[in-house]
């Protein structure tokens, strides 16, 4: 049992449009002020454009239906998008740090700070608005690619906030080195975001189990059937971007009819898929007595079996 996948590419196009707009605005702000912080901010917006293009590509791939070579679908393509976004964030951080160190060693006065601040603030508002839309869509559709793109844009917002603070402090104090110092602090901050995105992508490619709250919902549903004398084992879960995969053995008394066991499995599937979005559910029906014999035989042969029982 599985749910239809929505087309999320429209959100990637929104991110691309926002990146193009902010690149123009921040480049103009840097040209007016000469601020290395604003230059680094504009450079990160170019990275945002590349990341948004990658997100669009991977969301297009992820939306493809299963085929003979990819019978479980293409959803894991989203992890490539988030991993690339994490890598691009790290590259942007290195570029910001390099430029900041150079300006720290060779200070330069900031000009027309007021105009630069106004333009940069407008660009940040654009990024913040688009990031909120992407966050909401990513949570709603369980899309790690959209969440990664939203985090990337929020990184840009925090970068801009740091740059604005640096320019403001320079304007107040007259100490030119505050601008590159703030740029270096911003670079250190966004490294953390990049590392976390890469980590999440790696875990997704390694078939990580579904989130803890969804596992709790799954076990609550299975617990409801415990009083009927039903047991479950080999309960396994994994996630691939928005899709969840759940498999288990449903153990029923041996004197049950096939119809009764099948109806129970259908009920469990329906309840689980209602509680966990985009769930792909697979059950194997077996007799309690036979399953326990199989467990004893496997233990005698030196094997191991993960058993989750509810009674």
pLDDT digits (tens, 9 = 90+) for 6-38: 568 888 899 899 888 888 887 877 777 776 666
Locate CATH 1.20.1510.10 in the chain: 9-205
Q: Which CATH architecture has domain 212-300?
A: 2-Layer Sandwich (3.30)
What is the CA 302 to chain-centroid distance, rounded? 39
How many residues comprise the chain? 311
Q: Which CATH architecture has domain 9-205?
A: Up-down Bundle (1.20)
Q: What is the pLDDT of residue 129?
A: 92
**Joined tokens for residue 300:** 């005698």
Average pLDDT over all residues of the chain = 76
Work out the pLDDT band at 311, boundaries 50, 70, 90. very low
Residue 101, burial from CB neighbour count under 10 angstroms (0-12, 13-18, 19+): middle
Q: Is the sign of the CA dihedral 175, 180, 183, 184 positive or negative?
A: negative
Indicate the pTM of the whole model.
Answer: 0.58
Residue 303 has pLDDT above 90, yes or no: no
Locate CATH 3.30.70.1350 in the chain: 212-300
Q: How does DSSP classify residue 177?
A: T
What mean pLDDT comes out for the span 114-132?
Answer: 82
């Amino acid at each position: 049992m599985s749910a239809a996948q929505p087309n999320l590419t429209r959100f990637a196009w929104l991110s691309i449009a926002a990146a193009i707009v902010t690149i123009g605005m921040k480049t103009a702000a840097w040209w007016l002020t000469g601020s290395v912080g604003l230059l680094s901010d504009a450079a990160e917006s170019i990275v945002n454009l590349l990341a948004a293009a990658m997100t669009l590509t991977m969301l297009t791939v992820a939306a493809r239906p299963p085929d003979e070579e990819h019978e479980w679908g293409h959803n894991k393509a989203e992890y490539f998008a988030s991993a690339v976004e994490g890598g691009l964030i790290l590259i942007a951080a290195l570029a910001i740090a390099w430029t900041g160190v150079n300006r720290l060693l060779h200070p330069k006065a900031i000009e027309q700070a007021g105009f630069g601040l106004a333009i940069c603030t407008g660009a940040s508002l654009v990024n913040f608005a688009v990031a909120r839309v992407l966050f909401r869509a990513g949570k709603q559709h369980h899309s790690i690619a959209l969440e990664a793109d939203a985090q990337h844009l929020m990184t840009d917002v925090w970068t801009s906030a740091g740059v604005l603070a640096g320019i403001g402090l320079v304007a107040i104090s007259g100490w030119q080195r505050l601008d590159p110092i703030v740029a270096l602090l911003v670079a250190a901050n966004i490294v953390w975001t990049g590392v976390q995105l890469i980590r999440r992508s790696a875990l997704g490619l390694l078939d990580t189990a579904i989130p803890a709250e969804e596992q709790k919902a799954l076990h609550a549903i299975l617990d409801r059937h415990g009083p009927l004398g039903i047991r479950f084992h080999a309960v396994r879960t994994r996630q691939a971007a928005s899709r969840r995969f759940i498999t288990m053995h449903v153990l029923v008394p041996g004197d049950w009819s096939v119809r009764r066991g099948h109806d129970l499995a259908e009920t469990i599937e329906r309840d689980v898929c209602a509680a966990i979005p985009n769930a792909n559910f697979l059950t194997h029906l077996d007799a309690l007595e036979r399953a326990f014999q199989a467990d004893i035989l496997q233990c005698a042969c030196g094997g191991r079996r993960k058993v989750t029982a509810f009674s």
